[in-house]
A and B are shown apart, each in its own frame.
Chain A
Amino acid sequence: MAKDDMLTLLKLMLEYVLPTLKLFAFTLLFSIPAGMIVALLKMCKIKPISWLTNIYILIMRGTPLMLQVIVAFYFIPTVQKNDSAPELLRKFLSGVSIRGNYIFWAVLVAFVLNYAAYFAEIFRGGIESIPKGQYEAAGALGFSRLQTFFRIILPQVVKRVIPASSNEVITLVKDTSLANTVGYMELIYIAETQSSRLSSLVPLFMAGVMYFVMASVLTLLFSFIEKKFNYYK
């Protein structure tokens, strides 16, 4: 390949890093708060709620993300604003896909639901690792339950869940490639099409390097954040 061709290819591929990052960023934006809510639901003392939450987590963690993406792809576009629950179920069982800009949202729903389940388990572990004495000290000092959670517990949970969360976040960068299965045009999509067009492995190699760079930047970022939290044990 000529040098100019390489540059054109590189530029083209970099354009497709954007949809990859978009899926990555939106997934994090929604799945982290959702994961916190799911964690709290799972710890809820009302048994049916914690039960249902647990089933959701089991399904999300027990089936392939790729399968979830495909199901969402066929199901989400059929959903209308004021669908009743039975109607939604019917559509879920017989969903047909409508292509177009629904793809991103369908993929995003699957990713958020999946990652929320993983984050939920990490957050729950973090919350449960905070000693009971912290709640008692806060209670004895008159903090309300909300104040206790947000001022005393959550800041300590954040520190404890950073290492496990960083694993998830780095996995997510690479998992975005699964969106390609349903035609979301991102980095793997362009790498594959260019690779067969040019009969060359270079585009795939470039894609690999780009994922590697993104993952490395995140690794550095997280080790920086971890150090930031080292001011206490």
Chain B
Amino acid sequence: MAMLEVKNLSKSFDELEVLKDISFDVQKGEVVAIIGPSGSGKSTLLRCINQLEKANGGEINVCGTDMLIKNAKGKTVYADSKVLRAIRLKTGLVFQNFNLFPHMSVLRNITEAPVCVLKQNKEDAKKNAMSLLKKMGLETKADSYPCELSGGQQQRVSIARALALSPEILFFDEPTSALDPELTGEILKVIKSLAADGMTMVIVTHEMAFARDVADKVIFMEHGYIVEMGAPEQLFGENASDRVKQFLQRFNS
């Protein structure tokens, strides 16, 4: 079953075309890695799917629900706001800079959305948050504030925060890029364990070994286009296009 279908997606900032004719899909339980040079539109793609930017054209379908469609006149239109809200709860996004809420304890960071948005009972939300924290190895940090945590710990909290809404599909935008190299490992480990649990994920990353290791499908983007897409063996193998090889070379030194 397709958890995400993107067709001919385009997005411009004024004159600047950032996404051009982007089409791909993500099946249930699949892990998709998006790689490519900086400025190629990877973040914008995730932001369009997560409704943080408005796309200009194309179609997006999340878990079988149309979010962005071409209407009868061929015009691209969004679903109504109720549907968009419902879709928003099916997608989760983990940011490069964590974006934790600094005025809330770790626990509150995780329970706030389930309680306020999903109207979950406070006790249930708390129990669920504690079990997520345990999974992240942070059960002792529930009452800490984000500023008291290391970058790696903050990112694990932000992953727990996204998971607390039980999203159907989880997006990561360079989840380790703001971390010291010795801390990236702990985040990659968490993502791997989520993959093992069958979580559907789309991960923008510069960790090529990780992408090769954990992804079922790899997408290489450049200048707003998907240049190449396929199994990791293909993109990281001998048969990849010259452009992909050239790009990957920088990571092999």
Contacts and interface: CB of A to CB of B under 8 A. Distances in A.
Interface of A: 131, 133-134, 136-143, 147, 151-152, 155-156, 159, 231-233
Given A151-B116, A156-B102, A140 B147 contact: no
Interface string B97-125: 10111110000000011001110000000
Interface of B: 50-52, 85, 88-89, 91-93, 95, 97, 99-103, 112-113, 116-118, 145-147, 158, 161-162, 165
Contact of A140 (B88, B101, B112, B146): B88
Residue from the set A142, A155, A231, A233 with the largest chain B CB neighbour count within 10 Å: A142
Contact of B88 (A134, A142, A147, A231): A142
A142 to B, nearest CB: 4
Q: Which 4 A-B pairs have the closest CB atoms?
A: A137-B99, A133-B99, A141-B113, A233-B147
Contacts of B158: 137
17 contacts: A131-B99, A134-B101, A136-B52, A137-B95, A137-B101, A138-B101, A140-B52, A140-B91, A140-B92, A141-B117, A141-B161, A143-B116, A155-B103, A156-B103, A231-B145, A232-B146, A233-B147
Given A156-B102, A232-B103, A151 B165 contact: no
Contact of A133 (B51, B89, B95, B113): B95
Contacts, number: 58
Contacts of A138: 101
Contacts of A233: 102, 147
A232 B145 contact: yes
A232 B101 CA distance: 10
Contact of A141 (B102, B103, B165): B165
Given A139-B52, A142-B165, A134 B99 contact: yes
A160 to B, nearest CB: 11
Contacts of B85: 142
Contact of A142 (B99, B102, B113, B147): B113
Given A136-B95, A140-B92, A232 B102 contact: yes
Contacts of A151: 112, 116
B146 A139 contact: no
Given A142-B89, A151-B116, A136 B101 contact: no
A138 B95 CA distance: 12
Contacts of B103: 155-156, 159, 232
Given A140-B88, A142-B117, 17 more contacts: A131-B99, A133-B95, A133-B97, A134-B99, A139-B52, A139-B88, A140-B162, A141-B112, A141-B113, A141-B162, A142-B89, A142-B165, A156-B102, A159-B103, A231-B145, A232-B103, A232-B147
A131 B101 CA distance: 11
Nearest to B113: A141
Contacts of B88: 139-140, 142
B88 to A, nearest CB: 5
Contact of B93 (A140, A143, A156): A140
Contacts of A131: 99
Nearest to B118: A142
B51 A139 contact: yes
